[in-house]
Amino acid sequence: MSTIRVQEAAFDTGAEIARLTEGRPDIGGIGCFVGTVRATRAHPIAALTLEHYPAMTELALARIAAEATARWHLLGCTLIHRVGRLLPGEPIVLVLAAAGHREAALEATAFLIDWLKTKAPFWKKETLVDGAETWVDARDTDDAAAARWA
Amino acid sequence: MSTIRVQEAAFDTGAEIARLTEGRPDIGGIGCFVGTVRATRAHPIAALTLEHYPAMTELALARIAAEATARWHLLGCTLIHRVGRLLPGEPIVLVLAAAGHREAALEATAFLIDWLKTKAPFWKKETLVDGAETWVDARDTDDAAAARWA
Amino acid sequence: MSACLSDPHVTVLYFAWLRERVGVGEERISLPADIRTAGALIEHLAARDAAHAAAFENRQTVRCAVNQDFAGPDAAVGPGDEIAFFPPVTGG
Amino acid sequence: MSACLSDPHVTVLYFAWLRERVGVGEERISLPADIRTAGALIEHLAARDAAHAAAFENRQTVRCAVNQDFAGPDAAVGPGDEIAFFPPVTGG
C-alpha cells in the first residue's frame, strides 16, 4: 500500500505514520525521513519555491514507491512532497517505509529519498534574504547516492 | 541537544520531531525510526513486556546519543524507549537524528537503533496467544549490525 | 503516440529556468515530418528564436520526458506526444 | 568504587531470566576479600545455592555491568560497587 501526495500544505508526520501502520501488526519497523528548508548564516535563504510537473509527478513518485516496495518487500510506503513557497525550517518532503524488520525499513527509506531526489520532477528556486533568486543546481553527490542502488 | 526518555506511555512522533527542529533552520534533514511490536500468523504474540535497568538505561542511551552526535555532527537527537506491557502494533522505540544533510541524518538513525539494540539494558519477554511466556533471544544479526559501526 | 496523422502537433512543456527563458510553460507546435527524436526536436526548437536558443544553449543541462517518462535524446517523438524539457531535478 | 573498607558489601542486581531464576531482583552481599573481578563474583554466587547455580548455569549467556557500565569478566569489583547480571540485551 502506497500513499503518494503532492501538496502545498504541511503534512502531519505522526498522522501519516498512524495511517501507514493502522491494522498492520505484521509491521516491525518504520523508517522515516523528513527534509526541511535549510538556512544557515553562510547561506541565508529567505524562502524556497518548489515547482513540479503536475502530470508526471505522482506517476514518478508511484514508480519509485513500487520499486522500493518490490525490492524490500515493504508493507507500506508514503511519499509526500510539498510545492509552492516554503520558509526556512518548514518541511518539504516526507518519506515513510514500513517493513517487518528495521534493516529493510531503513534501507528502503534511504533508497526512496535518493531516488526521489534524482527521478521525480521537482525544481527548487532559492530566494536569498537580499531578494536574489537562483534555481538550485543538482548535486553530483545526489547522482552518486542514487547510483548506489542501480 | 539530545532528548532521552524511558517511559510506559506512548510517544507522539510528530510532536517529538517538532520539538527537535523548533528554532533550528540549520537542520536540513531528520532521520527517524519507529520500532513496533510485531505479530504475524507464524508468530502470533499477544503482548511484549519490556524490562530495563533503571539506574543504567538513560545513562546508556545518553552515551549512544553522544557517540552519534560526535560522529555525524548531529544538530539534535532523540531516543525514547517504552517499557512495560505493549500490544501488537504498538510503538516500542523512537529514534530521531537531525543533521544539515540527509546522509548524516539517515546514517546516524541506523547507527542509533543498531547500538540501542546491543548497548542499552532492555529485555523483551513475549507472551504468546496461548499464554506461554518466553524471553526473547538476542539476534546474531543485531550484533553484526552494531559491529559495522565499530 | 496516439497519433492522428492529419494533426502533426506535439505539446512542449518547459520547467524551471527553461520555462523562464522560453517565456511560456507550454506551447503546441507543429512537428516537421523529419523530426523523429527528442534530440532532433531540441535542435528544431533552439533554431526558432533567441528565447528558445537561450533555453537550450547548454544542452548538457537539459533533461527531457516524453509522455511523462524520462527520456534521452534518442527517444522517439511523434504527433500527439507531450514532450517536456527541464534542468536536472532538485526535489527532496 | 567509593569503598568503605569496614563495609565489604556489594549490591548485586539481576534482570530478565536471571532475575526469575535467582528469585530476587536485587541482593546485598558480603564480598569475600579474594573476590576482585566480576568473573570471580559469578563463581562465588553460582556456588551459593541451586537458584543461583541455575541463573549462572550457562556463563556464555550472562552479561554484566559494574556501576552501570558494561563490563567483562575481568572487570574489577570492590566494596560499594553495584554489579548487575543479565542476558544479552534485546531492546529496540
* pLDDT per position as a tens digit, A122-131: 999 999 999 9
Mean pLDDT of A97-104: 97
Residue A93: alpha-carbon gap to chain centroid: 4
Helices (H), ranges, chain C: 16-22, 38-46, 50-55
Q: Which residues of B touch D (CB under 8 A)?
A: 35, 50-53, 55-56, 59-60, 81, 92-93, 113, 116-125, 135-138, 142
The model's confidence at residue C5, banded by pLDDT at 50, 70 and 90, is low
CB-CB neighbours of A43 under 10 Å: 10
A-C CB pairs within 8 A amount to 71
Residue A23: burial class (beta carbons within 10 Å; 0-12, 13-18, 19+): exposed
Q: Any residues with CB less than 8 A from the CB of B20 and at least 6 apart, and which? A: B1, B3, B27, B30, B76, B77, B78, B96, B98
Mean pLDDT estimate for chain B? 96
ipTM for this model: 0.93
What's the rounded Cα separation, in Å, for the pair A113 and B31? Answer: 11
d(CA B67, CA B56): 17
Is 80 exceeded by the pLDDT of residue C81?
yes
**Preferred mutation among B53, B113, B116, B118 to probe D, highest tally of D CBs within 10 A:** B53
Is the pLDDT higher at C1 or at C40? C40
Q: Give the closest of C15, C16, C91 to A120, CB-based.
A: C91
Q: Find chain C residues with C-beta within 8 A of A117's C-beta.
A: 89-92
Mean per-residue pLDDT of chain D? 94
Amino acid, single-letter form, for residue C78 = G
D84 vs B contacts (CB less than 8 Å)? 53, 56, 121
Position A110 confidence tier, pLDDT thresholds 50, 70, 90: very high
Residues of B whose CB is below 8 A from A14: 12-15
pLDDT tens string A1-39: 899 999 999 999 999 999 999 999 999 999 999 999 999
pLDDT in tens, A82-95: 999 999 999 999 99
Q: What is the pLDDT of residue D5?
A: 56
- Which of A11, A20, A22, A30 has the highest number of chain B CBs within 10 A, making it the mutation to test binding with B? A30
Q: Detail the DSSP E strand segments found in B56-132.
A: 76-82, 84-86, 91-99, 122-128
Number of residues written out for chain B:
150
pLDDT digits (tens, 9 = 90+) for D48-91: 999 999 999 999 999 999 999 999 999 999 999 999 999 999 99
Residue type for position A7: Q
Tell me the Cα Rg of chain C: 12
Grid-cell match 503534512, residue found:
A11
pLDDT value for A1: 82
- The per-residue pLDDT for C6 is 64
> What's the pLDDT score for residue D7?
77
Q: Give yes or no for residue C3 having a pLDDT over 50.
A: no
Are the beta carbons of D7 and D79 closer than 8 angstroms? Answer: yes
Residue B92's pLDDT is 98
pLDDT of amino acid B1? 81
- Taking only the tens place, the pLDDT of each residue in D3-41 is 455 679 999 999 999 999 999 999 999 999 999 999 999
CB count within 10 Å of CB C45 equals 21
Q: Would you state the cell numbers that stand for residue B33, as one nine-digit string?
A: 525510526
Q: B113 and B95 in contact (C-beta within 8 Å)? A: yes
Contact B69, B107 (CB under 8 A): no
Q: Quote the CA–CA distance of A11 and A22 in Å, as a whole number.
A: 18
Predicted confidence at residue D3, as pLDDT, reads: 47
- Which H helix or E strand runs over A129? none
Backbone angles phi, psi at C38, to 5 degrees: -60, -40
pLDDT of residue C7: 77
Q: Which three cell numbers stand for residue B139?
A: 539476534
Q: Could you tell me if A110 and A37 are in contact, meaning their C-beta atoms sit under 8 angstroms apart? A: no
Measured CA to CA, the distance from residue C26 to residue C50 in angstroms comes to 17
Per-residue pLDDT, averaged over B46-52, amounts to: 98
Cell of C37: 527524436
| Cα four-point dihedral sign C56, C58, C60, C62 | negative
Residue B138 has pLDDT above 50, yes or no: yes
Question: Are B55 and D17 inside 8 Å of each other by CB?
Answer: no
Q: Give B84-122 pLDDT, tens digit per residue.
A: 999 999 999 999 999 999 999 999 999 999 999 999 999
Cβ atoms of D71 and D64 within 8 Å: the answer is yes
Tens digits of residue pLDDT in A59-70: 999 999 999 999
C-alpha cell at A37: 528548508
Q: What is the pLDDT of residue D6?
A: 63
Complete edge-to-edge strand list for the sheet that includes strand B122-128: B84-86, B45-52, B122-128, B133-135
Q: Which chains touch A (3 or more CB pairs under 8 A)?
A: B, C
CA distance between the termini of chain C: 31
B40 with A100: Cβ contact below 8 A: yes
Half-sphere exposure of C30 (CA within 13 A, CB side): 4
Residue D2 has pLDDT above 60, yes or no: no
Helix or strand holding residue A3 (H, E): strand A2-7
Per-residue pLDDT tens digits for B10-37? 999 999 999 999 999 999 999 999 999 9
What stretch of H or E contains C63? strand C63-66
Q: Residues in chain A, how many?
A: 150
Decide if A117 and C87 are in contact by the 8 Å CB cutoff. Answer: no
D38 SS3 class: helix
Q: What are phi and psi of D9, to 5 degrees?
A: -105, 155
For testing contact with chain C, the best of A123, A133, A141, A143 (most C CBs within 10 A): A123
- Residue B76 above 70 pLDDT? yes
Question: Nearest CA to D64 among D77, D54, D53, D47?
Answer: D77
Q: What percent of chain B has pLDDT over 70?
A: 100
Residues B37, A17: C-beta atoms closer than 8 Å: no
